[in-house]
Amino acid sequence: MTDSSTTALPPVVPAGAAEVESALATAAAAEHADGHPPFSDQTRALLRRGGHELLLLARADDARSDEAAGAAVVVREGGDLLVELVVHPQHRRRGVGRALAEAAAGHLRAQHPDAVDQGGVVAWAHGTLPGSDRLARAHGLSPVRELRRMRLDAGQAPSSASEPPEGVRLRGFRPGQDDAAWLALNAVAFAEHPEQGSLTQQDLEDRMGEDWFEADGLLLAEREEDGALLGFHWTKHPAAAADEPAAARGPEGEVYAVGVSPQAQGTGLGRALTLAGVHRMLERGARRVLLYVDADNTAAVHLYERLGFVLDAADTQHRLARAD
């Protein structure tokens, strides 16, 4: 969420499927300016397949035809209603953020009064930009969760990878063959995680359809004796600009997700998987690697710090207070 304020609020209108790309173009402009995607991957996937509940657009006379001055999205996330909001960098501090927030709040009060009363509404402030906290608190939301973005520069990476435990081998994902086993592993590895642990076959297919997806970039750890999956490291290393050679990769990779089965925790597999994916991205041209981790997951934070990752930014989740 980003904030802007002025006395005359711009008009906000519900948008249909034809205007999804306009919202995504605005999000891309904000990401380029801020260094943080304002919508999560799951929200973007839901938008593209029409799985969102509401899309609101704010228009301005000087906005480009393929961009909106701002956009707000309402989607379901587990048992909650999630709001994500973005204001185009060229239209900030004009009341766009406030207008979008008020329109989204009005929709939730009208359509989901029970969720509003019971505190079932959350909002993410990606990058925790100035004004996000103020806008959230103005609508009765308080910070409840911090998602840290950590960064590892190529020169700070460990010089060598770590071998997996004895009897475990690493290999690439096989679309269509490993789907069910990977989804089951992901569910148990992230049983306490509200977003990652609830991924479905459709969610997996959405991500496999992204231009950054590579099957070999989803590293699987399997037990040699029976092929059972014990862990994975999903790397995200997008291609470079469209005019670059097809094999070129961008300067920034991401530890998209690292999951380890409960039966393999404490064996060093998480470290081995993390380093294997990091070195794969660095060898393919990444100059830095990012990852996201919950601040209260102290074991993971300490592991990443030992590997050389440092705090780069943070996202904050806000939750609507329950009605008294």
CATH classification of 12-147 is 3.40.630.30, yes or no?
A: yes
158-307 topology per CATH: Aminopeptidase (3.40.630)
Q: Where are the alpha helices (DSSP H) in 71-224?
A: 96-111, 113-117, 132-138, 179-189, 201-208
- Is 272 known as a binding-site position? no
Neighbours of 153 (CB within 10 A): 13
- Is 229 known as a binding-site position? no
- Is 236 known as a binding-site position? yes
* pLDDT by residue, tens only, the chain of 324 residues: 444 444 577 899 999 999 999 999 999 999 999 988 999 999 999 999 999 999 999 987 765 667 799 999 999 988 899 999 999 999 998 999 999 999 999 999 999 999 999 999 999 998 877 788 889 999 999 999 999 999 999 999 998 878 999 999 999 999 999 999 999 999 999 988 777 888 999 999 999 999 899 999 999 999 999 999 999 999 999 876 555 554 566 799 999 999 999 999 999 999 999 999 999 999 999 999 999 999 999 988 999 999 999 999 999 999 999 987
The pTM of the full predicted model, rounded to 2 decimals, is: 0.83
Nearest to 182 by CA among 204, 209, 163: 204
- Is 267 known as a binding-site position? yes
- Is 300 known as a binding-site position? yes
Cβ-proximal residues to 163 (8 Å cutoff; 6+ apart), any chain = 272
- Is 298 known as a binding-site position? yes
- Is 42 known as a binding-site position? no
Q: Which helix (H) or strand (E) holds 64?
A: none
Instruction: Decide: residue 266, CB within 10 A, 0-12 exposed, 13-18 middle, 19+ buried.
Output: exposed
Domain ranges of the chain: 12-147, 158-307
- Is 66 known as a binding-site position? no
Domains 12-147 and 158-307 share a fold: yes
- Is 259 known as a binding-site position? yes
d(CA 29, CA 35): 10
